Structure 1
Amino acid sequence: MTAFATADDGERIAFEEHGSGVPLLLIAGQATGMHGWGPFADALARDFRVIVFDHRGIGASGEGDAARYSTRAFAADAVAVLDAAGVAAAHVVGHSMGGRVAQWLAADDPGRVRRLVLIATTATDRAGGPAQRRDPAVIADLLSGDRARMLPLFFDDAWAAAHPAAVDGFFHRVASRPALRGHFAASRDHDATDALARIRADSLVIHGERDALTPIAHARLLADAIPHARLLELDARHGLHLDTPTVVDAVRDFLLPEGQRH
């Protein structure tokens, strides 16, 4: 059942809860709705109280002023969701742009984050050497809106063919053009480099070695900059939280108390 939080500017942020246990907030990527978590959220709901939400401008959430979107503002929306759910502190998992949002949440509101998982994300895309730069052709594929061009950036072909519902859920979005532009700009302009040292939560950085959207050098920089972080590199692409079973197992084991780990 969908509920609504009220953001600082009065916009409504749609969220849902599944499962029971220690709260776990999932923060989705750029222009991705809360149902895009699909089987990843379902698997974690067996052990946690999973909370998912639509970023402003996406799905059932209000749009607000898309020209003012930023990852830091999205983090404030995430806090509003925790408040509406009555959650003082939660584990937080962010994928791609959601990982950028999660960085601000953990740095600015450290008391709200128990443990932090950052999947396929960056501290910034605005600087760095060749190993950190995206191929312009990859960006063009991402912005094309053509699923046939985007799908190979995220998923292995065999997995995608075997899991059409999960693929549809991930790529389905309800958003205006201004909101889509606002999401892209927020993600592109993210720079939390100077804030990472403020993150107190034990952190796990997970990244695919074949991630064309986000070169793996970014993950290594994140893991080095966050005080209590470790890095898991996998043979995977950008959508590894869905098509790589090792990811959900690693997240579960990292978040569960030692005696409950599988």
Structure 2
Amino acid sequence: MAHQVEGTRGAPRLLLLQGQANSHRWWQHVRPLLTDRFFTVTFDYRGTGDTARLQRDSEAEDETDWSTRQFAADAAAVLTALGARSAFVYGTSMGGRIAQELAIARPDLVRGLVLACTTPGGAVATERSREVRLALASPDADARLRTTVDLFYTPEWVAARGGYQRVPRHLFGDPAISRRDASRHLRMSAKHDAAERLSQIMAPTLILHGVHDVFAPAVTATALGDLIPGSEVWVHPTGRHGFFDEFAAEVTARVTDFLTSPQGRG
């Protein structure tokens, strides 16, 4: 499992969990805002980044049925290998689903939790609309790009970067992931269902969402807040699915304030 560390080694550990079908590069705008206060840890999920290369070089192919529980176990293994007795955890999108499973299965490892633009899954989750799913499946590559950009970022952000073809694409999937593994990520994310177990989360929890997120509708933040005891919910007033990246300075400051506060430290 390929992993990356940045920051001061004596600082509190912070595990960053990226979205579906993405490598650690998902965090390239956010991570530099965290390394002065935390020793940040990332790892490339199965099928992505350098982990995919290690998989290809291995004689034994991974044929397991991937799940958010399994990826949470991977996350725990990475932290343990680094000698971490506990860590803060910040998960976004599918990474938030993995973070839920980690906090449930290993409460000893998770000292504080941030969940952004994510969902509990199951019957209480509000899924994206049929229109969004159809637009993402368009056979027209340019149309798919415009749809994806609009789901993640505001029109003002896109215009400031010179239009759709010039926007950074580090949130739109690891270009090295295979179609097979991308499909496995999609299925595991869709199968996630922690709703009935979220009451087991003991870590102080901050839940973040963008009010105009239709990729993972913002109402799911309320559902998470209702299910995780003592959690705090904050909704960005203009953000979409990539609000944590577009408004990185503002959102990351809120994350840092929470995790370094008496409430966030537990």
TM-score (norm 2): 0.85
Residue 251 of structure 1: aligned partner: 255
CA shift for structure 1 position 67: 5.7
Q: Identify which of 73, 83, 88 aligns with 1:86.
A: 83
Residue 218 of structure 2: aligned partner: 216
CA shift for structure 1 position 169: 2.5
The alignment status of 1:127 with 2:123, answered yes or no, reads yes
Map 1:25-40; keep pairs closer than 5 Å.
25-40=15-30
On the 8 A contact 1:54/1:60 being kept in 2, the answer is yes
SS of 1:16's partner is strand
Residues 230 and 166 of structure 1: CA distance in aligned 2, closer, same or farther (over 3 Å): farther
Give the greater-gyration-radius structure (CA). Answer: 2
Q: Where do 5+ consecutive residues of structure 1 fail to align?
A: 1-12
Residue 154 of structure 1: aligned partner: 152
Q: Deviations over 1:136-192 (max 9, x none)?
A: 121234455732221110012332454699823323511111100000000001000
Map 1:218-233; keep pairs closer than 5 Å.
218-233=220-235
Q: Residues of 1 paired with 2:235 and 2:88: CA distance?
A: 21
Q: Residues of 2 paired with 1:142 and 1:186: CA distance?
A: 18
Map 1:9-20; keep pairs closer than 5 Å.
13-20=1-8
Q: Residues of 2 paired with 1:74 and 1:140: CA distance?
A: 28
Residues 128 and 226 of structure 1: CA distance in aligned 2, closer, same or farther (over 3 Å): closer
Q: What is the identity, as a one-letter code, of the residue corresponding to 2:242?
A: G
Residue 177 of structure 2: aligned partner: 175
TM-score (norm 1): 0.86
Q: Residues of 1 paired with 2:210 and 2:16: CA distance?
A: 19
Q: Where do 5+ consecutive residues of structure 2 fail to align?
A: 56-60
The alignment status of 1:105 with 2:102, answered yes or no, reads yes
Q: Deviations over 1:208-260 (max 9, x none)?
A: 110011112211010111012010011210011101232111101001146xx
The alignment status of 1:77 with 2:88, answered yes or no, reads no
Q: Identify which of 133, 141, 145 aligns with 1:139.
A: 133
Residues 142 and 256 of structure 1: CA distance in aligned 2, closer, same or farther (over 3 Å): farther
The alignment status of 1:238 with 2:241, answered yes or no, reads yes
Q: Residues of 2 paired with 1:89 and 1:102: CA distance?
A: 13
Q: Residues of 2 paired with 1:25 and 1:160: CA distance?
A: 29
Residues 142 and 75 of structure 1: CA distance in aligned 2, closer, same or farther (over 3 Å): farther
SS of 1:170's partner is coil
Q: Residues of 2 paired with 1:189 and 1:216: CA distance?
A: 19
Q: Deviations over 1:82-115 (max 9, x none)?
A: 1222211100000000000000000010000010
Q: Residues of 1 paired with 2:189 and 2:18: CA distance?
A: 12
